[in-house]
Amino acid sequence: MTLNTEPASTAEYLRPAKLIDRVAIVVGGARGIGAAIGKRLFDEGARVILGDTNIDLARKTAASIGPADRVMAVEVDISQPDAAATIVDRAMQSFGRLDILVQNAAIYPWTLIQDISAEEWDSVLGVNLRGAFLTARAARDPMAAGGGGRLIFISSITGPRVSSPGHAHYAASKAGINGFVRTAAIEYSSLGITVNSVEPGNILTEGLKAGRTQAFIDSMSAAVPLGRLGDPEDVANAVAFLASDDACYITGTSIIVDGGQTLPESKDFAV
């Protein structure tokens, strides 16, 4: 028998899309991690709605991902009581179903505890934590009517695993998401809806690049066992897995995407 040693064509390496005919909402989808999630879900075959307060940027991102009949943008402030219901209704009107909802929207001002006003505290928890509650509540019935679905919340290692000065409200909101996920997973289990979260470490987004010096980025990278900060696509990969049938028996848990950042007891413990 003669073996074919010629390299395989690109087409032979293409994996089958796992989200054909699914409909997904990504809240906070205009940039960074949210935009990467929207693109990955689209690449897997889903029709996608990007929700964001920055509607102009969301429309630009949607256009860069795919055609208007498969990717659209909706202006939404997820902290507002009716916003989640509005974007879910848009999905039902446009595509007739809802299978996946990713709540990625978050704000993270840097303020020490003694300087945090009640208004700032409420603002951070309003977007980050109340947004999770509102989206889960709005998505429940449409997903159940379609036979089930996937709720995925972007948490963080900040709060559930580690923290730093100036992020008390952000850490509290992200730790709260993980607690909420566990309860929602139990309540929604009989409806065929799984509920999970993803905890990113330091991800090299546009915001991080703009707000941090290269020296800081290099220092943080050196503290990560895998030797680099994460890319938005690293988080999107975890979301795509949780959104797929491959994760049908996973609920009430979280995937840490941090390159091992939270593993060493000290940054000096490197191999």
Q: Which residues are catalytic?
A: 170
Alpha-carbon gap, residue 255 to 63, rounded angstroms: 30
Comparing CA positions, the residue from 73, 23, 69 lying closest to residue 47 is 23
**The amino acid at 116:** I
Task: Look at the block and give the residue holding tokens 């990467």.
Answer: 36
**95 residue type, one letter:** F
Beta-bridged to residue 162, according to DSSP, are 158
Nearest to 160 by CA among 181, 191, 135: 181
Q: What is the DSSP letter of 130?
A: I
Contact of 94 with 72, CB cutoff 8 Å: yes
Phi and psi dihedrals of 41, rounded to 5?
A: -65, -40
Inter-CA distances, 42 with 36, 79, 271, Å = 10, 26, 39
Contact 192, 144 (CB under 8 A): yes
- Whether residue 111 contacts residue 39, with contact meaning beta carbons closer than 8 Å, is answered with no
Query: Environment class of residue 83 by beta-carbon count within 10 Å: exposed (0-12), middle (13-18) or buried (19+)?
Result: buried
